[in-house]
Amino acid sequence: MLRSCAALLRTPGAPRGRPGAPRRSFSSEKVVQKDCALPNPSWSKDLRLLFDQFMKKCEDGSWKRLPSYKQFFSKTFQGFQTLYLDPSLVKGEEHAQLFTRSFEDGLGFEYVMFYNDAEKRVLCFLQVGPHLQGAPGFVHGGAIATMMDSTTGTCACRAGGIAMTANLNINFKRPIPLCSVVVIDSQLDKVEGRKLFVSCNVRSVDEKTLHSEASALFIKLDPDKSLRKKR
Amino acid sequence: MLRSCAALLRTPGAPRGRPGAPRRSFSSEKVVQKDCALPNPSWSKDLRLLFDQFMKKCEDGSWKRLPSYKQFFSKTFQGFQTLYLDPSLVKGEEHAQLFTRSFEDGLGFEYVMFYNDAEKRVLCFLQVGPHLQGAPGFVHGGAIATMMDSTTGTCACRAGGIAMTANLNINFKRPIPLCSVVVIDSQLDKVEGRKLFVSCNVRSVDEKTLHSEASALFIKLDPDKSLRKKR
């Protein structure tokens, strides 16, 4: 399968680089990656205000802004790569991009997450770009599911260690207008052995509209088993 | 919110067009859209074989290939636009792209769906590109959720009329390696008034690996209420 992945990446016409992609290291050159969880010109006033408000809350250490990158390199997920990943999969990984960061600025997911360790809580401020459309004028349910999975997953991993989604149960209450800003509020509810139970909801910035709710179950990975071996 | 959407679309540096996007009609010129559910050079042998096999099954009319486009125009979702969409939302819609078709060829979702009316069943053959990464080497849970929502949603709408997702409950069993091909098999299980119950599973091409299962509930839209009025 990785041969076909390599073939894909050689597809004529496929872009060879994107704005914000890291400069690749082919020698000992240091890889420089752009932190995507910082304001860019596509951010609306609503998103920028929420960002500024929570950056202030970070000053006393109660909240922490979480950086975010298009690609996984040395520091990010180093433990995952070392402990769980079959080496045969690593070849393709260097060409891959994180799904939620694979869009041009402003067209897809624009977001920043903040973590509160005392509350085991992650807040995600999300602006939904025009390339996330489902029904005309509204965000695709899959795009909402994606950011609910990402936010609850970040909450699970921050609170309990490296884990993967086992179940995601979403109630879609009110559709989200395309290009609006929403707040995803996620919290660790319970830990039972390797099981981490996390819930979240998606609300409008003024908190008046509850767009969606979800509960998620994550399983902490077992360092004795690679994901590949389980298959 | 649509003002901010328009602002996004004017962001300096944002691409003004993508390969495969329709030629825009500013006068009476006819809009020509690319059907994305047809083979392109990024398709792997596995995906091409499944496509050819089911195109044969279409010859007797039992199965039907479903075309798919980046944008909604006159024919697609015309009923939705007329009956359910607040006119104030339509302005932004012409710039928007369907989430699952907003990637360059081969980098995101490459898929084709086939519908069997007698069985009320949709099969989706999906190749997961390198920009759909979650954990290193594997597809993002949100990308899987997106295609499960799309496939069950297509099944619901084909079998029961225009409907939107109310609940999506996914069990993730085995992670999907990036750049592989999987089969999403979706079926209408039950209809209760305006409720449509649809289930689906995601398997490897050889059917040996069950990657995920989901149940979904869709609600048929009421022509007397626009989505905007409900908010």
Q: How far is CA B116 from the centre of its chain?
A: 17
Tell me the Cα Rg of chain A.
18
Judge whether A4 lies within some domain: no
pLDDT at residue number B30: 55
Judge whether B161 lies within some domain: yes
Please, what sign has the CA dihedral across residues B20, B21, B22, B23? negative
Hey, are the CB atoms on B99 and A143 less than 8 Å from each other? yes
pLDDT at residue number B209: 97
Set of chain A residues whose Cβ sits within 8 Å of the Cβ of B175? 164, 227
DSSP per residue, B149-179? HHHHHHHHHHHHSSEEEEEEEEEE-SPPBTT
CA distances from B92 to A40, A201, B39 (A): 21, 26, 30
Rounded (10°) CA dihedral B10, B12, B15, B17: 40
Hey, are the CB atoms on A167 and B168 less than 8 Å from each other? no
Residue segments in chain A with a per-residue pLDDT below the cut of 70: 1-31, 73-94, 223, 225-231
Is A86 marked active-site? Answer: no
Both tokens of residue B124?
């989706």
Per DSSP, helices labelled H in chain A are 2-9, 45-57, 78-84, 87-93, 141-160, 227-230
pLDDT at residue number A73: 53
- B208: contact with A, CB 8 A cutoff: no
Please, what sign has the CA dihedral across residues B8, A132, B100, B77? negative
Element (H, E) at B146: helix B141-160
Judge whether A45 lies within some domain: yes
Q: How far is CA A7 from the centre of its chain?
A: 27
Pairing of the two strands A121-128 and A109-116: antiparallel
Residues 6+ apart with CB under 8 A from B172: A164, A165, A166, A167, A168, B141, B144, B211, B212
CA distances from B66 to A183, A197, B115, B174, B217 (A): 35, 38, 7, 28, 22
pLDDT at residue number B33: 84
Judge whether B138 lies within some domain: yes
Q: CA nearest A215 in B: which residue? A: B169
Task: Tell me B221's DSSP state.
Answer: P
Residues 6+ apart with CB under 8 A from A109: A100, A101, A103, A126, A127, A128, A129, A132, A143, A146, A147
Judge whether B16 lies within some domain: no
Q: What is the pLDDT along chain B (231 residues), one digit of tens a residue?
A: 333 444 443 333 333 344 444 444 444 445 678 999 999 999 999 999 999 999 999 999 999 999 999 986 545 455 555 555 555 544 455 578 999 999 999 999 999 999 999 999 999 999 999 999 999 889 999 999 999 999 999 999 999 999 999 999 999 999 999 999 999 999 999 999 999 999 999 999 999 999 999 999 999 987 676 555 444
Catalytic residue (choose from B46, B105, B117, B149):
B149
Residues A99/B140, Cβ–Cβ less than 8 Å: yes
The count of domains in chain A is 1
Both tokens of residue A67?
């950086």
pLDDT at residue number B170: 98
Element (H, E) at B92: helix B87-93
Hey, are the CB atoms on B146 and A149 less than 8 Å from each other? no
As a whole number of angstroms, the distance between CA B16 and CA B9 comes to 9
As a whole number of angstroms, the distance between CA A135 and CA A122 comes to 28
Both tokens of residue B79?
């009923």
- B204: contact with A, CB 8 A cutoff: no
pLDDT at residue number A9: 38
Judge whether B90 lies within some domain: no
Judge whether A88 lies within some domain: no
Domain containing A177 equals 39-66+99-220
CATH code, domain with A47: 3.10.129.10
As a whole number of angstroms, the distance between CA A155 and CA A199 comes to 9
State the helix-helix crossing angle for A141-160 and B141-160, rounded to 10 degrees.
Answer: 150
Q: What does the longest C-alpha to C-alpha distance in chain B come to? A: 53
